[in-house]
A and B are shown apart, each in its own frame.
Chain A
Amino acid sequence: MERKLLVEDHIRRNKRNTLIICMLMLLLLFAVIFSIGLVLGFPPVFSTAIGLPLSLLYIALTYSFSVQSVLAAAKARPANPNKREEKLLIYKVEEMAIAAGLPMPKVYVQESSDINAFATGKKPEDAVICVTTGALQKLNTEELEGVIAHEMSHIQNRDILLATVTVGVVGAIALISEIVLRSLFWGGGGRERRGNGNVILFIVAIIFIVLAPIFARLTYLAISRRREYLADANGAYLTRNPEGLARALEKIKADIPDDPKGSKMVAPLYIENPFKRSLRDSIWSTHPPIDERIRRLRSM
């Protein structure tokens, strides 16, 4: 019973945090558009009339396409049931869905020699579980089962809602800011010709430079140590076999990481950070230390 209360509480918190992220982004976007309007000398009423619907539209669009953008950023494709390896993966996902009493999620595969997996979706009914081809090759049935059970727990706890929406809503603007910054950096030649347009670009660039770390920080809000430990524990409860996931994590630890594929924005979704090499010991290392996760699984 206590476990159930804990999970219900957790689900409520995830839904609330998702709302907070969306409101924060709405506010942030509106503030940016409003201040650009002020700088350019438009009346505040005009800036509001443009800025509010525009930011709302942005949130609505990125929210509704967040699952697709996550899958696109990870370059994932649907699992192919004609390949035995991927057929067995689909089977395992189905078994874990039954164990959790959840509807069967869609199964995707990402081409990468890394051992990794993530779950995405806004609710259990439209959830997706994606596993790398490296995980399919290097993990045995028991270990793969542990990994899938971990992802299934993320679906059950609605962690996927928070993570997916955050990546979708924040990720799109981060991508835009990256493009703007790069085009400004490379597009120096046009400076003399269009003086006025350049001022706007310059202001936008400064705003984005200031905001970029905030965006990055926001995405990492979507993951927390507590969420990972909870998913590990719930996953072990589903398989009744903590050793499976523990051994999978050991293999991930010992594995030599491949060049990270896909966008950095999707990193918080994975079972283990795919950018572990470049981000080691940095303030962004938000995944709990793998040794501690293994220790906790073994002591269950």
Chain B
Amino acid sequence: MLLWILAIIILIILLAIPVYYYNKIIRLENRIENSWAQIDVQLKRRADLIPNLMETVKGYMKHEREVLENVTKARAALLNAKTPHENMEANNMLTGALKTLFAVAENYPNLKANENFLQLQDQLTHTEDKIAYARQHYNDSVLVFNNTIETFPGVFFAKMMGKKEKEMLQIPEEAKEVPKVSF
């Protein structure tokens, strides 16, 4: 009798471990997907804000064609990006172009007093920060996932499920650079 109970307990444990790891790996994978969706939403939002900004800025910055063109180009690249890597690259381009634009805007007091411009500047900075934090959360999620599927006994179940380690999003070096302003 006692032996039977023991056997049943061991059986339950043996069944529970794969279920636990299966659920855990799927849950962590979903979290990564969800973090990417979060980044994607913010990237779209950022791209949507650009036309408004261009409309507001156009009247003031007539002689800054290059600066404005760079922003438009970066936005187009962002809208056409397919893979996470392309998305991030275009996003970094846009960050650089906007930085230059806002730096140049310092020379236009009328523009800086424009309520609409200030609103857009706040919102764009906000989306940029949100993208940075969403990327950080994505990388955190990837780290937890990779740790789980690379350590024992997770590695055993991950192999059976055919799960491979995911790649982190690189934090750009150029984003930290001071923008070059050309007149």
Contacts and interface: CB of A to CB of B under 8 A. Distances in A.
Interface in A226-248: 240
Nearest to B138: A101
Chain A interface, >50% SS class: helix
Interface residues of B, number: 16
Contact of B122 (A87, A95, A96, A98): A87
A95 B130 contact: yes
A250 B126 CA distance: 26
Which of A84, A96, A99 is the most central at the interface, judged by chain B CB atoms within 10 Å of its CB?
A: A99
A91 interface: yes
B34 to A, nearest CB: 8
A1 B136 CA distance: 17
Contacts of B38: 98
A99 B137 contact: yes
Contacts of A193: none
Indicate the size class of the contact surface on chain A. 10 to 19
A98 B130 contact: yes
A98 B35 CA distance: 9
A83 interface: no
Contacts of B126: 91, 94-95
B133 A96 contact: yes
B141 A101 contact: yes
Contacts of A99: 133-134, 136-137
Interface string B68-100: 000000000000000000000000000000000
A139 interface: no
Interface string B136-171: 110011001001000100000000000000000000
Nearest to A99: B133
A91 B133 contact: no
Contacts of B31: 101
Which of B38, B126, B134 is the most central at the interface, judged by chain A CB atoms within 10 Å of its CB?
A: B126
A54 to B, nearest CB: 43
A95 B129 contact: yes
B130 A101 contact: no
Nearest to B141: A101
A1 B122 contact: no
Given A4-B144, A99-B136, A94 B130 contact: yes
Contacts of B137: 98-101
A32 B146 CA distance: 55
A91 B134 contact: no
Given A87-B122, A88-B122, A98 B133 contact: yes
Contacts of A87: 122
A94 to B, nearest CB: 7
A258 to B, nearest CB: 29
Contacts of B136: 99, 240
Interface of A: 1, 4, 84, 87-88, 91, 94-96, 98-101, 240
Given A94-B126, A94-B130, A98-B38, 6 more contacts: A84-B122, A91-B122, A95-B130, A99-B136, A99-B137, A100-B137
Interface of B: 31, 35, 38, 122, 126, 129-130, 133-134, 136-137, 140-141, 144, 147, 151
